[in-house]
Structure 1
């Protein structure tokens, strides 16, 4: 950690790092959080509305805040939204705590003016990024080989609301966008009209007749 960084973040340096500094601020009555160290100078805080990451800027004193929708071990890393930045560590802790506690978006925006939630909240209200992800996959030339399967899945009123990802030519459907460990299933079409299905993380693929595919997937994703 160089002298310039120490000069920008003397409170963070004195506390022994961002994790310790945020915990210290929380103990001083400015909220309660449980930050988890990341692989960079920033941290990640797990919440029910996506993981919140806090990364200190290098060029000026500024804590950048992002919401990360997690991926999982079987797909791409995930999705990120920039939702604001502040130079006030205590205010940052209060905002992250309120986010973690589920304070409504409009109340968050009113209380913490450094947060810019219009795009993020709007995406959720419009059913995105799930809807956007479907649209992207169905229009990407790179995934032309999966278009037929994607259209069939998307046209179903239940499966079309699942979050889709393509990995190794298989379509993976996930129930809960915010939970990388939520119920999910992979579908592969090795030949036209022939389907293989595999639960996640189980590695056993089962061939499913075309006429049974939708019902099979619905059951795998929704039955308790």
Structure 2
């Protein structure tokens, strides 16, 4: 087997991949990182504060840690943001274990100086990431095409409390940021043309796109996201 990332990660190469290397380092330090036994190079760890993923840099030795907050659609990763990076594998697994155990962010930052715990992470810990997510989407030029639809949904007193995200150009509304699977009530709203909408309810049996008249959109979404 060739060296991993051009000899930047000899410990990872020796272990047979990033997953085995992290598990070995965690065992050595008595840490529980919750890594499934089948993980090799694609690292994704479910925690109460989202999915933690670990990736290696190619230009220098760095283990990059990210948090995914909106889940997946058709196998495509949702939005994620990086919370820090380190070249120390032992320090990495200790930080992952501490995050997974729910250590408060202030303590995490004090213990692991490489972590960059931004405003969104703090909002996530407090359980109130919704308003910040709305603001983030509405201030992102990348999502300019969805601004009109986002603004329309946000004006409703019920829908503004849902967690929004963008998936393949459609606006996804979840009842809450977590869990990230189909058990979380959600809808996808697509605006192919101005004032024409298509809606689907992922996870529902026989789910299919349904065209919803403009005047009925808010009521339709409210009903779809209501308690069943």
- How high is the TM-score relative to the length of structure 2? 0.74
- 1:88 and 2:88 aligned: yes
Conservation of the 8 A alpha-carbon contact between 1:32 and 1:97: yes
Q: In the TM superposition, what is the alpha-carbon distance from 1:98 to its structure 2 partner?
A: 1.1
Q: 1:58-73 to 2 correspondence within 5 Å?
A: 58-73=58-73
CA distance in 2, matches of 1:88, 1:190: 47
- 1:10 and 2:14 aligned: no
Deviations 1:133-154 (A, max 9, x none): 14448982x347xx2x443321
Deviations 1:54-91 (A, max 9, x none): 22233333222222234422597422222212222111
Q: In the TM superposition, what is the alpha-carbon distance from 1:20 to its structure 2 partner?
A: 0.9
Shift in alpha-carbon separation, 1:171–1:74, aligned structure 2, 3 A: farther
- 1:219 and 2:223 aligned: yes
Q: In the TM superposition, what is the alpha-carbon distance from 1:8 to its structure 2 partner?
A: 3.2
Residue of structure 1 equivalent to 2:155: 155
CA distance in 2, matches of 1:128, 1:78: 17
Unaligned runs of 5+ in 2: none
Greater CA radius of gyration, 1 or 2?
1
Unaligned runs of 5+ in 1: none
How large is the Cα RMSD of the aligned pairs?
Answer: 3.5
Q: Aligned pairs, how many?
A: 219
Residue of structure 2 equivalent to 1:52: 52
Identify which range, 50-59 or 104-113, moves more after superposition. 50-59
Identify which range, 124-133 or 91-100, moves more after superposition. 124-133
Residue of structure 2 equivalent to 1:184: 186
Conservation of the 8 A alpha-carbon contact between 1:68 and 1:78: yes
Shift in alpha-carbon separation, 1:174–1:208, aligned structure 2, 3 A: same
CA distance in 2, matches of 1:98, 1:155: 39
Shift in alpha-carbon separation, 1:27–1:6, aligned structure 2, 3 A: farther
More helix by share: 1
Which secondary structure state, in structure 2, belongs to the residue aligned with residue 129 of structure 1?
Answer: helix
